[in-house]
A and B are shown apart, each in its own frame.
Chain A
């Protein structure tokens, strides 16, 4: 693979993508609407993802993962996102914790946890946001403290996707003023999960607010050196999350394009097909061109990630920014083209619209991306 163009044309990748699509059609799509309505990802979906080796797939083979490349992982995430953003979210949060631990964890911590995450036997989630710390993560107040009887964690986290289900949490806290990341077991005494059930988006994402009441922490659970918890550990996690979400957003856009074209070809009003209206064609053109462009930006970001280029970070942000903005626009267009049907949950379009909205907010809002990308010193190259 010498350039992005080769990646697009590779028969091997095309075959992998077909296999991912078959898997999703069989194991994910049939449960998507029911999961959304129930506010809980069907256990059969989690099991299928685990059995297929897709939970923890990007972790290295040395710890029991598949060593899946970013490009291939992007296609997997895209195909899952095409059917169910809640299932895609499970992959995103589980894998971002696994990869961050693989990158910055101590040998002992990695040996203890990674094999379980790589097999999907244990599930992981990230606990970063707080009531007063959203876009500004540096405002976190959750605190790790040391006393004669060991280390204690106190604080409250909000909006933890799959917080109802996770066996391990990657938590960000302050320790003597230094930002510190640590792995915390979900079963620890003093950890309280409060399910969040009122979300507009990603309703089967099993979100929880998490409270830590004097939780006893083993010093081995600290990830990375204290002081580097946000700038390096957190940044690694969010960077991977952005890539995964960008690819999932392309999946939403793909699904909206596909459904809209079929509908426009079949639906007749006042004696003519929708597709014969120029205004409908213009809308379809914007949808399909944007989806193609978003897909290419993700492939480009994936390729740069696989080759470990320093510009992979900013290119991932560009892909996330564009793909999520376009997914929201395409879902809005799809609902519009379907008319009243688009507003019902008999079709997945209203779910795509609700889910796409969240993608413009999480892992860095549209505005955070605009202020960072627009000010990047290397942009003119």
Chain B
């Protein structure tokens, strides 16, 4: 995965989360869901965003909080899915 596409993925996810969470200061490694619990609307919108933006399919086995807990984790998930 090129550095360029890594940055694109980060930027798409960050822009979405900034709008959704109303915070402009989200770092790539920030723990987004410290309670381990995702609001279901945001959770489903995130799945749709990742699938639509990166032409991937999030499957049953990808449902792991570790895949969604930070921008970096989601970027890694996207990159793994795109590589496979």
Interface residue ranges, A against B (CB under 8 Å): 104-106, 223-225, 227-228, 230-232, 234-236, 239, 308-314, 372, 377-378
Contact = CB atoms under 8 A, between A and B. Distances in A.
Given A308-B51, A309-B52, A378-B19, A235 B44 contact: yes
Contact of B48 (A104, A105, A227, A310): A310
A235 B60 contact: no
Contacts of B16: 310
Contact of A313 (B21, B45, B63, B65): B45
Interface string B38-71: 1111011111110110000000110111000000
Contacts of B49: 310
B40 A235 contact: yes
Contacts of B45: 310-311, 313-314
Nearest to A238: B40
A377 B41 contact: no
Contacts of A377: 19-22
A225 B60 contact: yes
Interface in B1-55: 16, 19-22, 36-41, 43-49, 51-52
Nearest to A137: B40
Given A231-B39, A377-B22, A239 B60 contact: no
A232 B19 contact: no
Given A227-B36, A310-B46, A378-B19, 4 more contacts: A228-B63, A232-B43, A234-B40, A313-B45
Q: For B19, B37, B41, B49, which residue has the most chain A Cβ atoms within 10 angstroms? A: B41
Given A106-B60, A225-B60, A310-B45, A231 B38 contact: yes
Q: Chain B interface: which size bin? A: 20 to 34
A227 B43 CA distance: 13
A36 to B, nearest CB: 34
Nearest to B49: A310
Contacts of B47: 232
A225 B48 contact: no
Given A224-B60, A308-B48, A314 B19 contact: no
Given A104-B60, A225-B64, A235 B48 contact: no
Contacts of A236: 44
A118 B45 CA distance: 27
Contacts of A230: 40
5 contacts: A227-B65, A236-B44, A310-B45, A310-B49, A372-B41
Nearest to A138: B37
A232 B20 contact: no
A239 B39 CA distance: 14
A120 B15 CA distance: 43
B73 to A, nearest CB: 15
A308 B52 contact: yes
A239 to B, nearest CB: 7
A239 B42 CA distance: 13
Nearest to A381: B19
